[in-house]
Amino acid sequence: MATITADQVKQLRDRTGAGMMECKAALAEAGGDMEAATTLLRTRGLAQAAKRAGRATAQGLIGTYIHMGGKIGVLVEVNCETDFVARTDAFQHLVKEIAMHIAAADPRWARREDVPQAAIDKEKGIYRAQMEGSGKPAGVLDRIIDGKLNSFYAQFVLLEQPSVRDPNVTIAQMLAETTAKTGENITIGRFTRYRVGESAD
């Protein structure tokens, strides 16, 4: 059995934000492999985050970001359960990251449920028109359209967008990881992105 050092535990704790005992146990289970232990903790944290998803989030922060030159500005409301967590470094860092991401990625909606049905129907119509005359059966066409819709959500829905800083992690996963660190449900309330010269829709 691999010997787990205090330095390894500290390194894993700094990387994941998990408790010391959890880090030590994960390292022991992973035979001292830092990457495997990190994956273990992330998997457990995401599972815990899912359990907390229904809890009310009435506290939080308004985050702001002004892009260099003052041409793009963002306001975003990120919510949590208590003011205590809203004041933590982990939560404040998350809010800042999300505001910067919105400035760069220009999402249209916060979550999939916010997308108007008219926008979904329009996208489906475009996809069907693109595949007209392909000869594919209706069931196959429907699966292709669903796949294209998922790509549409990943492009325009904030929670489903890959982070501009780390494309391997979505914004929803960033929220879940901070939920695992803080022990509270975290949600995005609303956001506004301004660009100089753009008129409101």
Q: What is the pLDDT of residues 28-40, one digit of tens each?
A: 888 888 888 888 8
pLDDT in the model for residue 104? 95
CA dihedral 66, 96, 80, 59 (to 10 degrees): -40
C-alpha to C-alpha distances, 130 to 58, 83, 136, 137, 195, nearest whole angstrom: 44, 50, 12, 15, 32
pTM score: 0.68
- CATH fold of 59-111+157-195 reads Tetrahydropterin Synthase; Chain A (3.30.479)
CATH 3.30.479.20 residue spans of the chain = 59-111+157-195
Amino acid identity of 144?
I
- Where does residue 33 fall: left (phi above 0), alpha (psi -120 to 50 degrees), or beta otherwise? beta
Confidence of residue 86 (pLDDT cuts 50, 70, 90): very high
* CATH number for domain 6-52, candidates 3.40.50.10610, 1.10.8.10, 3.90.1150.10, 3.40.630.10: 1.10.8.10
Cα–Cα distances (Å) from 55 to 59, 184, 190, in that order, read 12, 8, 18
**CATH 1.10.8.10: which residues of the chain?**
6-52
